[in-house]
Structure 1
Amino acid sequence: MKCYSFFNKYNGLFCLLLLALASCQQVPQAKTPDHAKRWLAGDHHLHSHYSVKWDTSVFPPAPVIGGDAKYSIPLNAQMAAHYGLSWMVITDHGGPNRAKLALEQAYPELLASRKALPDILQFYGMEFDVPGDSPGGRHASFIMPYSATEAQQLYQIESRYNGRQGVPPGPEKAEDAFMLLALKAMDALPDKPLLLANHPSRLATGFRQYHKITPQQLRDWQDTAPDVVIGMTGAEGHQAATLNPDGSTDASAIRAEYPHYPTMGGYDQMTARLGGVWDSLLSEGRHWWVTGVSDSHGHYTDGWADFWPGQYAKTYVYAEKDYQSIFAALKAGNVFVSTGDLIDALYVDVLVKNTGRKATLGETLLVSAEDELVLRVRFRAPDGKNGGGFQPQVQRVDVIQGVVSGPVQNRNSDEAPNTKVTKRFYASDWQTKHGYSEFTLALGKVNHSGYLRLRGTNNKDEHEPEADAKGENPWHDLWFYSNPVFIKLTDTKH
């Protein structure tokens, strides 16, 4: 931990040095593309010291730098790279005049960090405060594509539409309908951003008792801006909330800080429950992706509730190492999520037997009723120990299939009763070659459109993710989830 103490002590000095280095830089400079596609780990929800608190004893309220998150952007980037990330998104949250603070202070620090640490690709974004929410609780990761005008485009949205912007925010921001106006404005930007709902069930009052964010709202958001709204976080942040600064567990603490109904294996119930919200959305044929984040505000060794970016949860995209390719892969759903470095590569292909036709994560395979389908899976566990000092092993992989039946009548539906675990694979069921574990499954012919997704765990006998107990050690309960492959039944053979 000596390196953390050093960076914490010199956090401000480090920023000043980087800002000086970048003082002549007015627009972002693209890194030379690396054209080899591979799995690249990232985090789209983390905070810098520009997630401020506000001093309301003066008018207008004054920002208190470091008030709600501890570290500079470059320190976050340094630690993200240390824990194996290739990309990250700074998503500081709002307040009375956060848009101006972001444009004039946070963005220049991001430019400096990009210049000083080019090997970690750093996207510009914010944690969008969803209008219609009082008090706070509804948030979304708002991710700008890399461009010379990214800061101005984000400022345009934040200054007008962010739910907490204004002194006080306008009365229109108390209405849910204002979120739909915000989404239309995002969709109209020259460079369309991406939006993912953060911790969607954090304020649920119980199991399937959604509050603040509901399945209907998720549907409404995506229907309003389908090129912008792409999904939600599954593996939630604040996973170190049960850890004391010395690494021991606090028996009274709540993992991920879900106060009323806990996470399940570290994942939000909207993702973790089989046949639940996520499957209900997928059963409509929606391109709805799940991700994993740190939501890092401060490290648990400093008395906060978080891991460093990439230390625990990682979102993997299959992309070239450049901004455009990573953004495109995230939007396309060529994505899987892993906690605790359970795996670092996952290849999932649904193939039509005796043809060259296949589809992978986020893609759709067109098939006829006569086509014979085969699932082929390869995954890899990282070499060495994870960020907790452990080397976990995958004990089981579940193949999950669901039916695509079209739009639901009940917009608040959280059920997909036809979604089932097709088969559970254990270590004895796969072969290991060249560091990869492999297995295949004959899927046969299909008589309806559907989708297939995977999940895996280090808990052999926990068939469904259980509600996380207080004081649970997050390093002992690890899961990975793939995003789906869609299978579309057509009338004719392709």
Structure 2
Amino acid sequence: MSHDHSPRRPRSHGDGHSPTHPHAHDADEVTRAAADASVADADLSPRELSRRRLLKAAGVTGALTAGVSGMLGVTPAMAEEAGRGRGEGAPRGNGRAVRHWLAGDHHIHTQYSSDGQYTVLDQAQHGAAHGLDWMVITDHGGATHARLGVDLVNPDIRAARAELKDTLIFQGLEWNIPAAEHGTVFVAPGRHEVEVLKQFETDYDGSVRGASGNSPENEALAVAGIQWLGRQKDRRRVEDALFLANHPARNGIDSPHEVRAWRDADPRIAVGWEGAPGHQAAGLPKGYGPGSARGYYGNSAGPNSFPGYPPESYRSWGGFDFYTATVGGLWDSLLAEGKPWSISANSDSHVNWGDTSRRPDGSASERFHADGRYGDPVYAGRVDLTAGDFWPGMYSRTHVGAAERGYTAVMRGIRDGRVWVDHGRLVKNLDVRVVASGRDTGEETLGGTLTARRGSRIELLVTVTAQDVPNWGMFLPRLNRVDLIRGAVDPLHASSDRDRLTAPDTRVVRQTDTSGRTGRFTLRYDLGTLEEPFYVRLRGTDGNRQQPGYLGASVDPAGPAIDVVGDADPWRDLWFYTNPIWVLPSR
């Protein structure tokens, strides 16, 4: 991403309408009709019949026909992969699909970005040294990158894969989303990875296409780009492809209806956003840091911004994006509609705090646009305390539950929502499971959907492995508290307001003091008897900075505090967040 944080263009989001695009807004109705058991197969349209078959193959029709028929896409990979006869990566009961939790970073820049510096191997070696299992190289989309960079970076990525055989290194790019912000797009390695990324960038990048301005046509172009990626997966040009929105609240230009349109365009491709942005070192105070805004979230509303976003949304909260950090906010509004939407945490590394290198002499921007890259960095003879980034894995980590240690397994885990994120290595490991008992038994892990009879007893088990080694700030972090967040699922509201910002029934329902606990310990939460669909998710903190949540103490009594521009030391404010688990009554 560019370090220019000023608004980019006029926008008029006040009408609250999404662009007209076929298949983007009627999907809820299709699922509702498909799940209605009173409608015979012969009375369904071909598309509705196809959706019914997917739901049956996924084994979720019982829940859907019990009054939650609008739950479009709960565990989307389960429905889509089972319906295509390729169910080996779908979420399985009892969490049997999770054999590894693999730490990674999906947002990393190199010398092939106009504001980057490092070689691919520089970033990959540091990421591996800081404990990452996987990472994505995401140089900036644009005319120069589409013309030169996509091709030029690939040999470097393949060389890094050969050098670091235990590290999964994806090729991707940072997409200038038409009519919106930036996003990570990446594909599984293969013969066509360069070809697909290059064509995508040429045809759908907002900068390349001159489609940055806010208009229904440009919003529709973003939707079309996501659907195009889905077709490349279907046609086996690439084995898999994913899109996640980057730093969504930074400028306030990712409106809620755009986010919903991306997700509904193809839930297998558009799967989430950065729950916490990169650039975490930017908040270090002057004297030993840049003295800027943590995450470079130091903006305010302008003509580009969606008018429903409050001034507080332009700041990070405990290092997390406002849309994720606000209990009962935009993220929860999606989850309450039954729409999976994953979070991530990453470095967005361009130039790293405490580094001793610089670009070589003669690496001016004119040279970059002619060559498609900067020269390899050289020793600077000084320590850079003005840069706002950490090396990949040094501070932020996205943990993905995978069936095996492989490229498609990581992508499957992200798609299925088997994800938790942390800062500063706050905890060593998490295992989260919802368990049903009674006439039905079963369990599910993060991202999963547990179905059980009404009246079944539901319990949440959270096994925490406390951190036992110092982090890269050279201290041992201590988990002070774990928060249980619960929300009702009301999918019938999914299409009533595409710019919906809140989930009124979501709140923190339990806070557990974990101070002083070491080793491996399990927290047990009685979730009561199952009557209506709901989801649960978790958040943890070192307890150093907190305040009532944006929607009030009755919703979130002690959430992350809003970060102070110029004085937000990230090492003194650590949190973890998990993706949700859904629980649905089958009858």
- Deviation, 1:464, is 1.2
Partner Cα distance (1:257, 1:40) in 2: 27
Partner Cα distance (1:169, 1:365) in 2: 42
- Judged with a 3 Å threshold, the aligned counterparts in structure 2 of structure 1 residues 373 and 158 are, in CA distance, closer, same or farther, namely same
Partner Cα distance (1:231, 1:150) in 2: 21
The answer on 1:216 being equivalent to 2:257 is yes
Partner Cα distance (1:244, 1:73) in 2: 29
Task: Tell me what 1:414 maps to.
Answer: 501
Structure 2 gap segments, 5+ residues each: 1-96, 300-313, 355-383, 547-557
TM-score for both structures, normalised by structure 1: 0.82
Q: What secondary structure sits across from 2:530 in the alignment? A: coil
Q: Is the 8 A contact 1:36 1:321 kept in 2?
A: no
Task: Tell me what 1:479 maps to.
Answer: 575
- Judged with a 3 Å threshold, the aligned counterparts in structure 2 of structure 1 residues 224 and 36 are, in CA distance, closer, same or farther, namely closer
Write the mapping of 1:51-450 to structure 2, written as runs, cut at 5 A.
Answer: 51-52=113-114, 68-133=115-180, 138-165=181-208, 175-189=218-232, 190=236, 191=238, 192-203=240-251, 211-243=252-284, 248-249=288-289, 252-260=291-299, 261-301=314-354, 302=384, 303-319=386-402, 320-353=404-437, 356-406=441-491, 407-427=494-514, 435-450=519-534
Look up the equivalent residue of 2:292 and give its one-letter code.
A
Higher deviation after alignment, 121-130 or 144-153: 144-153
Q: Is the 8 A contact 1:243 1:300 kept in 2?
A: no
Partner Cα distance (1:265, 1:369) in 2: 38
Q: What secondary structure sits across from 2:455 in the alignment? A: coil
Q: Deviations over 1:358-414 (max 9, x none)?
A: 011000000222100111110123331111112110000001100110014111111
Higher deviation after alignment, 73-82 or 320-329: 320-329
Structure 1 gap segments, 5+ residues each: 1-34, 53-67, 204-210
Q: What secondary structure sits across from 1:175 in the alignment? A: helix
Q: Is the 8 A contact 2:142 2:208 kept in 1?
A: yes
Task: Tell me what 1:48 maps to.
Answer: 110
Task: Tell me what 1:5 maps to.
Answer: none
Partner Cα distance (1:220, 1:326) in 2: 25
- Deviation, 1:292, is 0.5
- Deviation, 1:97, is 3.1
Q: What secondary structure sits across from 2:143 in the alignment? A: coil
Identity of aligned residues (%): 36
Task: Tell me what 2:101 maps to.
Answer: 39
- Judged with a 3 Å threshold, the aligned counterparts in structure 2 of structure 1 residues 51 and 198 are, in CA distance, closer, same or farther, namely same
Higher deviation after alignment, 393-402 or 405-414: 405-414
- Deviation, 1:176, is 1.8
Q: Is the 8 A contact 1:396 1:460 kept in 2?
A: no
Task: Tell me what 2:70 maps to.
Answer: none
Look up the equivalent residue of 1:48 and give its one-letter code.
T
Partner Cα distance (2:528, 2:285) in 1: 50
- Judged with a 3 Å threshold, the aligned counterparts in structure 2 of structure 1 residues 245 and 300 are, in CA distance, closer, same or farther, namely farther
Q: Is the 8 A contact 1:396 1:457 kept in 2?
A: yes
Q: What secondary structure sits across from 1:41 in the alignment? A: strand
- Deviation, 1:422, is 1.4
Q: Deviations over 1:303-354 (max 9, x none)?
A: 3210000111100011222112111111111110000100131111110125
Partner Cα distance (2:545, 2:159) in 1: 48
Q: Is the 8 A contact 1:195 1:231 kept in 2?
A: yes
- Deviation, 1:454, is 0.3
Task: Tell me what 2:69 maps to.
Answer: none
Task: Tell me what 1:207 maps to.
Answer: none
Look up the equivalent residue of 2:224 and give its one-letter code.
L
Q: Is the 8 A contact 1:351 1:358 kept in 2?
A: yes
Q: Is the 8 A contact 1:132 1:163 kept in 2?
A: yes
Partner Cα distance (1:70, 1:50) in 2: 8
Partner Cα distance (2:103, 2:512) in 1: 25
Q: Is the 8 A contact 2:177 2:212 kept in 1?
A: no
- Deviation, 1:244, is 6.6
| C-alpha RMSD of the superposition | 2.1
Query: How many residues are matched?
Result: 425
Task: Tell me what 1:459 maps to.
Answer: 543
Q: What secondary structure sits across from 1:265 in the alignment? A: coil
TM-score for both structures, normalised by structure 2: 0.69
Q: What secondary structure sits across from 2:140 in the alignment? A: coil
Q: Deviations over 1:422-441 (max 9, x none)?
A: 1111126x975xx3121101
Look up the equivalent residue of 1:182 and give its one-letter code.
G
Q: What secondary structure sits across from 1:202 in the alignment? A: coil
Q: Deviations over 1:54-83 (max 9, x none)?
A: xxxxxxxxxxxxxx0110111100000111
- Deviation, 1:245, is 9.0
- Deviation, 1:416, is 0.4
- Judged with a 3 Å threshold, the aligned counterparts in structure 2 of structure 1 residues 331 and 442 are, in CA distance, closer, same or farther, namely same
Task: Tell me what 1:8 maps to.
Answer: none
Q: Is the 8 A contact 1:384 1:391 kept in 2?
A: yes
- Deviation, 1:196, is 0.7
Look up the equivalent residue of 1:109 and give its one-letter code.
D
Partner Cα distance (2:205, 2:501) in 1: 28
Partner Cα distance (1:410, 1:389) in 2: 47
